[in-house]
Amino acid sequence: MTADLFSSLALRETELPNRVMVSPMCQYSCEDRDGLATEWHRVHLGSRAVGGAGVVMAEATAVSPEGRITPEDLGIWSDEHKERLAPIAEFIAEQGSVPAIQLAHAGRKASKSRPWEGSEPLQPDEGGWEVLAPNEDPWPYENESPPQKAMTQADIEGVVEDYRAAAKRALEAGFEVAEVHAAHGYLLHEFLSPVTNDRTDEYGGDFENRTRLVRQVTEAVRDVWPDDNPVFVRISGTDWLPERESWTIEQSVDLADELYELGADLIDVSSGMLHPDQQLPQEGSASQLPLAAQVREERETDIAVGAVGGITDAEQADELIREGDADLAIVGREHLRDPYFALHAAAELGEDVEPPVQYDRGF
Ligand code: FNR
């Protein structure tokens, strides 16, 4: 049976009403540098649920304070964080969308200012903090990098437990999908790639060792996540560093299958951002879509695949699903331009999708 953009997708016992997902997008909008969700998050995510996306995923939400990219990032390291997120998840679900949350740790890319403030590294006396990473090599900033600690075994165990606790809180807050963020040069990706991981213990070296942390984190999340609900993992399909020993699409396919065996249901295939020397085959993020298609083609398990990067119109998204290149079309910036992307796409594709009754006279 061929699927299309507006067919539902059952993952475990959770039914996604259509194949459009709002990609997680940091808003850097916590007001008191406390990681607590604000009205901005509620309206931003709520609007996109009103807009008809099948899944609305909250931005990279830090599992610990030092796991934030910027001091203004969303967090989920206490019950107060959970309580602030709960009404957002509830509103998303009331609109018929599946509420989802991305759980994140920024590793060596933590402790910097917001994009509109230059994404500059922040020192502890500027509101920054010591960052955690597989080793002491910092991101090659032009300015002085924040202090960085090569993680001990205890630090690693701490991160796994932070993920477990974060997932438990996310569930209690009402989210139905948890996504492990293992892409974009953040902590878990730093462990995956030999470019950033030269550890000599059981977390560095060969594929099994470099993938150990993401496997342990996925297991910890799956452990507290209900059997009926899906777990996603976002990876960078490649580092785009072909001239070095780096993370490749072949390894991504193998990892996707291993994660499926550990209880992950969907692999969300992004790419790069591990190192500034990356060589993208073309400008922008559209070069990621073939990576997702390759994972879907070469996987040996039934893991579902999400494609992200440069999806901007209905026909393109529908084709990805119809051609079997992906199970889920993940749309980022087009959702910033048009919160109602899914409703507009449904109209364009001639689908019988109802807008909210309040908007009947507008659509
Ligand atoms: C992002 N992106 C991103 N990715 C992620 O995994 N977690 C995040 O929190 C963020 N934050 C974020 C903020 C903003 C403002 C943008 C524009 C992007 C990446 C995003 O999810 C997506 O993968 C890319 O934007 C590529 O998809 P599009 O935008 O081409 O559809």
Return the DSSP state at 6: T
Within a domain: 4: no
Residue 119 in contact with ligand 1 by CB distance below 6 A: no
Ligand 1 centroid–CA 106 distance in Å is: 14
* pLDDT reading at 1 higher than 70: no
What pLDDT, on a 0 to 100 scale, did the predictor assign at position 52? Answer: 97
Residue whose structure tokens are 């364009």: 348
Ligand 1 pocket test: pick from 333, 336, 337, 338 the residue with the most ligand atoms within 8 Å of its Cβ. 333
In the chain, the number of structural domains is 1
ipTM score for this prediction:
1.00
Within a domain: 360: no
* pLDDT reading at 22 higher than 70: yes
Nearest ligand 1 atom to alpha carbon 312: 31
Residue 102 in contact with ligand 1 by CB distance below 6 A: yes
* pLDDT reading at 275 higher than 90: yes
Within a domain: 153: yes
Residue whose structure tokens are 């390894």: 251
Within a domain: 137: yes
Residue 41 in contact with ligand 1 by CB distance below 6 A: no
Residue 256 in contact with ligand 1 by CB distance below 6 A: no
Q: Model confidence at 324, in pLDDT bands (50, 70, 90)?
A: very high
For residue range 178-234, what is the model confidence (pLDDT) as tens digits?
999 999 999 999 999 999 999 999 999 999 999 999 999 999 999 999 999 999 999
Query: In degrees, to the nearest 5, what angle opens at C-alpha 285 toward C-alphas 280 and 286?
Result: 100
Residue 234 in contact with ligand 1 by CB distance below 6 A: yes
* pLDDT reading at 360 higher than 90: no
> How far apart (Å, rounded) are the C-alpha atoms in residues 297 and 51?
31
Residue 292 in contact with ligand 1 by CB distance below 6 A: no
Give helix 153-172 / helix 79-94 axis angle, nearest 10°: 40
Q: Which domain holds residue 297?
A: 9-349
> How far apart (Å, rounded) are the C-alpha atoms in residues 184 and 260?
21
- For range 121-125, the mean pLDDT: 98
SS3 call for 181: strand
pTM above 0.95, yes or no: yes
Average per-residue pLDDT in the chain? 97
To the query of whether residue 141 is one of the catalytic residues in this protein, the response is no
CATH number for position 283: 3.20.20.70
Ligand 1 centroid–CA 308 distance in Å is: 9
> How far apart (Å, rounded) are the C-alpha atoms in residues 272 and 140?
15
Within a domain: 283: yes
Within a domain: 361: no
- For range 81-105, the mean pLDDT: 98
* pLDDT reading at 284 higher than 80: no
Burial 204-224 (b: 16+ CB within 10 A, else e): beeeebbbbbbbbbbbbbbeb
| Catalytically annotated residue among 28, 186, 260, 340 | 186
What pLDDT, on a 0 to 100 scale, did the predictor assign at position 225? Answer: 98
